Structure 1
Amino acid sequence: MRIRFLLGATVAVCAAGVAHAEDIEVTHWWTSGSEAAAVAEFAKAFDATGNKWVDGAIAGSGGVARPVMVSRITGGDPMGATQFNHGQQAKELVEAGLMRSLEDVAKADGWRDIVHPASILQSCEIDGEIYCVPVNIHSQLWLWLSNDAFEKAGLKVPTNWEEFVAAAPDLRKAGIQPLVIGQQPWQAALVFQNLVAAIAGPEVYKQVITDKNVDAVNTPEMDKAFAALVTARELATGSNVQEWNQATTMVIKGGAAGQIMGDWAQGEFAIAEQVAGKDYTCLPGLGVSDIVSTGGDAFYFPAIDDPKIAAAQEALARVMISPEAQVAFNLKKGSMPVRSDVDLTAANDCMRKGLDILANGTVVDGLDQALSADASNQLSDLMIQFFNQPDMPVEKVKESLIGILQLSS
């Protein structure tokens, strides 16, 4: 990825948006400490245009917030802008004519030239038109380790999944939870995603998750991933938290040795004033493979028949993708910017690892890009059931996974 500093770069703001300042309600599910700090950067930048960000945070995960957002839009009570993940979550709303196209703004500002990789913006494209502004790249493929936990147990910090698994018995003896997973279903699906990508490998991941090749589910490589899934269930026994950030806090405090989580976890480490490489260790691809996924967040804008609101929506879209806001937001969020032409000299070691892999390593689709919303929800439900039922066999998971892939193909 090409990283440079844009001297004197300014946020392009529609003149009408300044002349006719509007209050714009923005709904999202960013409520953890680091998430709130990150979204405040967008709010500050938007308020500077003369408009007003009205925060519509919805507590809980995207799975909790999205039905509320969709219900409001379809029920005739739309917000000014709303968060969704990259992928197909807003496709039906767009096809119903309920979301406004940003194609004119994207063309005028050259979004197709500045967004990297191109697949990120393509996730916003339906029938050749751009309907959302992508704000970050979140790779879900990371293992986060507490250096303090391993020191307490008299162990070296692992460099890969195999070493992490081998350390589990000594961690238990030291009273440390080896692997912590919260009870939100998507967290369990994310663990499965990581194991397929790292243990089965990127090529098999693409066959199974992206191409929905059901024959690939029964390969020797996937058998290794399923065996690792059973191991992960054993390591996670004793996890007693609900939210993902509660699990991250356990790692930060040394009560748990590791967490499989997306790179947004490093926002929590940052707000706790922990230093990458010193207080915690991050292993992309579980330390097995140099691989990142390109999930993340984007904002869509409901179609509202009011030129003043439309102008303010355009101003917000331009703010979100501006160089300054991209840097300020993503440094606090723990994600990578969607632009390849911004200054990231303040990036920590973990973000740099992600950026290097994004530029030179293997990049795969995130779950929300590859699977339909229904299929993604079904995978999450299947995986949390597996983690909560120690006697659930892998063969049942395989059978259910094949049905989910067929649903999404």
Structure 2
Amino acid sequence: MRYRLLTAAFAATAALNIAGPVQAAELEVTHWWTSGGEAAAVAEFAKAFDASGHKWIDGAIAGSGGTARPIMISRITGGDPMGATQFNHGRQAEELVEAGLMRDLTDIAEEGKWREVVHPSSLLDSCTLDGKIYCVPVNIHSQQWLWLSNAAFEKAGVPVPTNWEEYAAAAPALEEAGIIPLAVGQQPWQTTLAFQVLLTAIAGPDAYTKIFGEKDADLAAGEELAKVFEAAAQARSMSAKSNVQDWNQATNMVITGQAAGQIMGDWAQGEFQVAGQVAGKDYTCLPGLGVNEVIMTGGDAFYFPVLDDEEKSAAQADLAKLMLSPEVQVAFNLKKGSLPVRGDVDLEAANDCMKKGLEILAQGNIIQSPDQLMSADSLTQINDLFVEFFNNTSITAEDAQKRFVDLVANAD
């Protein structure tokens, strides 16, 4: 797929202001984008929506998606729906859709030819239930990245690694230099993310898909996964002195050189950009830990609860169209550090790491996100396992693998 720069990319506000809505309305939009890079990105949505004549009412909820989603769901099921709300691609809103609480966007999608422009098609498939489209995918976020502080490795007197093996081997030198080898926050999803990235890098993309998608318990119990759990134990040791909570706090440890690296999604790029750091100069990125370079086609999507208000419903439709417009896709994703879901736009201003992601995507080296493959309840149980594993060194890699096998066997 070839991406082309749209010359109007940075004139989104002016372009969208040409024809305002018939009736302006205020629309509350809930999301969990509160870090520096995330706030800069979501502001692009708000700016475009306000420029159309409507009013964006920001409903940011501090914390991660795990904190925000229950609040969002409670409001929708409790009869106090917002105008639009963020979820991840996949099955997180499945029960709300089945209950008839989410708006059918099929007519808007057909008008905008979303099936033709959204790439890869699995993103829109994850918004589809019984042939109807219920959400707007706004970006492609991949968690398959290792972010490294060039200054930390220079201080430790070792070369910047090119893969996981070299990185792990550098841990003693980093510790001797007073640097934490691996920054990991205490939010539950972060340890699971690290494990999933290790699984994909060490055992391979096929193994990841068979375990999370096909629930292959036999594979989960095998020798290849034993190597993954050994690497997870190694990561646990490397992150032992990482005592921060939020993911962006862990990213800041890498930015400031307190930590040498972080396994985190490409949304970390937004934090590096806000800090004024330059890819390839101040920091290095290794997709797939430098072992298996793949892009996970997860990301963020917006759902629109059913509203009994004609003006707000019209505003919902306008916002859905804006979020997938070429101009807004470029403006938003440049700030977010993610890749656009449209296959007909380019980020010419993309940094080296973003360009790596675009190249991998163009090659078709993609896997689906856990949310697209496994239910939220099953993923929560796996999250709990790895929180316990990373916080309790008495749990061996062998013990954790046995418990993981049981969870996979009973997952849906």
Query: What is the deviation of 1:13?
Result: 7.7
CA shift, 1:15, in A, is 11
Q: 1:329 to 1:321 in 2, by over 3 A?
A: same
Distance 1:15-1:44 versus aligned 2 partners, 3 A rule: closer
Distance 2:32 2:8 in 1: 32
1:119 offset after TM fit, Å? 0.4
- Structure 1 residues 324 and 187: CA distance shift in structure 2, 3 A: same
1:307 to 307, 310, 314: 310
In the other structure, the counterpart of 1:283 is: 286
Q: 1:404 aligns with which of 394, 404, 407?
A: 407
> Under a length normalisation based on structure 1, what TM-score does the superposition of the two structures give?
0.97
Give the match for residue 181 of structure 1.
184
1:75-94 pair list within 5 angstroms: 75-94=78-97
**Equivalent residue in structure 2 for 1:46, among 45, 49, 54:** 49
Amino acid corresponding to residue 145 of structure 1 in structure 2: L
2:334 to 328, 331, 334: 331
Q: Which moved more, 1:359-368 or 1:240-249?
A: 359-368
- Hey, what does 1:205 align to over in structure 2? 208
How far does the alpha carbon of each residue in 1:226-272 deviate from its partner, in whole angstroms, 9 at most, with x for none? 11111111111111100000000000000000000000001100000
The answer as to whether partners of 1:146 and 1:258 remain within 8 angstroms in 2 is yes
One-letter amino acid of the structure 1 residue matched with residue 65 of structure 2:
G
Letter in 1 for 2:334: L
Which sections of structure 2, spanning at least 5 residues, go unmatched? none
Question: Does the alignment pair 1:296 with 2:325?
Answer: no
Return the letter of the residue paired with 1:2.
R
Q: Equivalent residue for 1:2? A: 2
Amino acid at match of 2:192: A
C-alpha distance in 2, partners of 1:128/1:206? 24
Q: Which residue of 1 aligns with 2:117?
A: 114
> Structure 1 residues 68 and 234, CA, compared in 2 at 3 Å: closer, same or farther?
same
Query: Secondary structure of 2:260's match?
Result: strand
Give the match's secondary structure for 2:178.
Answer: coil
Structure 1 range deviating more: 217-226 or 130-139 = 217-226
The CA distance in 1 between the partners of 2:37 and 2:111, in whole Å, is: 33
Partners of 1:173 and 1:113 in 2: CA distance: 54
Q: What CA deviation, in whole Å up to 9, does each residue of 1:353-405 have, x standing for no partner?
A: 11111111521111111111111111111111100001102233223223332
- Tell me how far apart the structure 1 counterparts of residues 239 and 8 of structure 2 sit (CA, whole Å): 49
- For the Cα contact (< 8 Å) 2:6–2:327, is it kept in 1? no
Contact 1:17 1:311 in 2 (8 A): no
Contact 1:17 1:308 in 2 (8 A): no
How many pairs does the alignment contain? Answer: 409
Counterparts of 1:345-384 in structure 2, within 5 Å, are: 345-384=348-387
1:75-114: per-residue Cα shift (whole Å, max 9, x none)? Answer: 0000000000011000000000000000000001100000
1:229: which partner in 2?
232
Are the counterparts in 2 of residues 202 and 362 from structure 1 also a CA contact under 8 Å? no
- Report whether the alignment pairs 1:68 with 2:41: no
Q: Is residue 2:103 matched to residue 1:139?
A: no
Name the CA distance, whole Å, in 2 between partners of 1:402 and 1:127: 31
For residue 101 of structure 1, the aligned residue among 92, 104, 107 is 104
One-letter amino acid of the structure 1 residue matched with residue 180 of structure 2: Q
**In structure 2, the residue corresponding to 1:408 is in which secondary structure?**
coil
**Shift, 1:58, TM fit:** 0.2
SS in 2 for 1:18: coil
User: 1:74 and 1:13, CA in 2 relative to 1: closer, same or farther beyond 3 A?
Assistant: farther
> What SS class does the counterpart of residue 28 from structure 2 fall into?
strand
Q: Which residue of 2 aligns with 1:23?
A: 26
- The residue type paired with residue 4 of structure 1 is R
C-alpha displacement of 1:5: 2.9
User: How many percent of aligned residue pairs carry the same amino acid?
Assistant: 63
Report if the CA contact (8 A) 1:179-1:259 is conserved.
yes
**Compared CA separation, residues 15 and 80, structure 1 to 2 (3 A):** farther
Residue 408 (structure 1) shift: 2.9
Displaced runs of 4+ in structure 1, greater than 2 A? Answer: 5-17, 402-409
Q: Is the 8 A contact 1:14 1:314 kept in 2?
A: no
Match of 2:222 in 1: 219
The answer as to 2:20 corresponding to 1:36 is: no
How many angstroms does 1:7 deviate by? Answer: 5.2
SS at match of 1:151: helix
